[in-house]
Every structure is written in structure tokens, then in C-alpha cells.
Amino acid sequence: MKGYSNDLYILAFDHRGTLTKGLLGVEGRAPTEDEVSRVSSMKDIIFDGFLEAQNKGIDGGDPAILVDETFGLQVQEKAKEMGIKFAAPVEKSGQKIFDFEYGSDFGEKIKEVNADFVKILVRWNPSDDSDTRQVQGERIKTLSDWLDENERKFLLEFLVPATEEQLASVDGDQAKYDSEIRPKLAVQVVEEMREKGADPDIWKIEGLDTIEDNENVSKVIKDGGREDVIAVVLGRGANDEKVNEWLRAGSSVDGYKGFAIGRSIFWNSLKGWHSGDKSREEAVSEIANSYLSFISVYQNGS
């Protein structure tokens, strides 16, 4: 059965390059043992924030985490022990063209990790050259077919980075691109991916400003007997005000069931902890409160 029946509130922290580069300043080399350990500690802090939020009580949906094996294996293992739903990525971090982290052995790795949801992130613009879309389409289909055969849930996140021409058409204004151009492109991307064989249970969609934009996406993800397939809103590191706007626009649309938010929840807290301005406890509590706040906005529109 394709799809998912409950609202999903995913605290996403499968970030790899984003943390090593963005917080530790590691560029052009592999992180050292100490740096790996530091990022693993960050994953523990975020997970503890999730647990604190759960202890305070979350109703009306399934709380879940999205965490990588590279820096968060210990978190994946704890989640399994505690019966917490989790998603795990299988894409190489930071690639322009989607590829498998574990090459052709991805199936073995998926079985080993045994996550509730298998996640990939793909950058896809309908204006990309056809070769790029063909290669990505074939790889996504390979994964999609394998997950179907092995009865595992597929979480597909896509971003639609603006081309130079698209950005120029709105005078380089990213916000204008997001509100005027990206919504139509998102619908096209879903159609193109579906045509090439992508068949996820959950689409992780960049936030859209209006109810109508979300309805257009919802309609296309459910086409062709996929009534139970759902979309979740992704935060894309935006500020709370913007994320809340996206959550409100999505929450009233049939087919949207929750969110997958990461940096918007944890970035400032981790930054403060890393620089020594915040204690570990403060960072954990801030993350818990931020996560609960987004759940409240999604559920109540406020």
C-alpha cells in the first residue's frame, strides 16, 4: 500500500556537509577524528531535544527523526531500541546529481540500517539538461523499485534550485522566485519524476506560500491511484516566520500531513553551543521548544 496514514512530524538532522562546513569550517578535506566526534555530539544534542519534546507530550501525529549513519549511527541505534520512528538517507551528501552513498550495495545498507523510511534528496529543475534528468531519473527508479520489492517506505525530498535565467527573470530576487516561479516548477518536477519511475510514499516538498500552490502539488502526487501518498513541508533553514507561513499553507490542504524541519529548529542552538555561548542543556531545551512550536503551528495554525 503506497502512502502513509498519519501526520508525520520529522525532526531532520541528517545534515553532513552542512554541519562540517557551516559550523566547523571544514572545506576541501575530510573532517578529523575530533571534528567527527564534535558533529556526533551535535547529533546527540538534537536527539535529546527531540526526546525532551516527546516527554512533554506530542499528540495527533507521529514524531520521527531523520538522521544519517555517518555522524549519527549511535542515534539510529538508540531510536531503534526506544521504538522511535526514524528515516535514514541513502544519498551522497552535497552532490548536484543524485547518487547512492553506498553505490550498488545500497540495498544491503538499507537492510542493515533498517530505518522506517528511506530518504533521498535530489536537486531537480525542469530546465536542467536532459542527460542530468535521465541519469537522476534512472537512479531514483532503481531505488524506488527496490523499496517496493522490499516493502519499505520511500521518502523523496527534492529541491528546485533556480537556473540563472529563472533568477534573472525576477531580477535576482530569491523570494520572488520562491513565490512566483518555484510552485509551478514543483508540480512539473513531480510529474517528471513520476514519469521516470519515482514512486515515493512521502514527498518532502519545499515550503509553498499559498494554499492553492500546495493543492496543486497535492493533486499531482495523488494522480494515478496514489490517494494515500502524502506530502510533508520542509523548512529549508528559513526563519520561523517563513516556516510558520509554509506550515499554515500546507496544513489546511488534503494530502499534506506534517513536516520535516531541520536547521530552522536546531541551527542557532547548535551554533550557540559550539561557540560556548550556550550550555548543552540550554541547546537541548531550545531545540525541544522550537520543534514543539512548529507542531503547534501545524496543528492549530498558530
Per-residue pLDDT 10s for the chain (302 aa) are 899 999 999 999 999 999 999 999 999 899 999 999 999 999 999 999 999 999 999 999 999 999 999 999 999 999 999 999 999 999 998 889 999 999 999 999 999 999 999 999 999 999 999 999 999 999 999 999 999 999 999 999 999 999 999 999 999 999 999 999 999 999 999 999 999 999 999 999 999 999 999 999 999 999 999 999 999 999 988 899 999 999 999 999 999 999 999 999 999 999 999 999 999 999 999 999 999 999 999 999 75
Q: Which domains does the chain have, with CATH numbers?
A: 8-300 (3.20.20.70)
Q: What is the pLDDT of residue 191?
A: 97
Q: What is the pLDDT of residue 77?
A: 97
Q: What is the pLDDT of residue 302?
A: 59
- Cα(266)–Cα(131) distance, integer angstroms: 37
- Cα(189)–Cα(38) distance, integer angstroms: 37
CA nearest neighbour of 125 among 43, 59, 207, 186? 186
Torsion of CA 168, 172, 178, 179, to 10 degrees: -90
Query: Can you give the pTM of this predicted structure?
Result: 0.96
Q: What is the pLDDT of residue 237?
A: 82
Answer whether 257's CB lies under 8 Å from 6's CB: yes
Q: What is the pLDDT of residue 1?
A: 81
- Cα(44)–Cα(38) distance, integer angstroms: 10
Q: What is the pLDDT of residue 264?
A: 96
- Cα(155)–Cα(53) distance, integer angstroms: 23
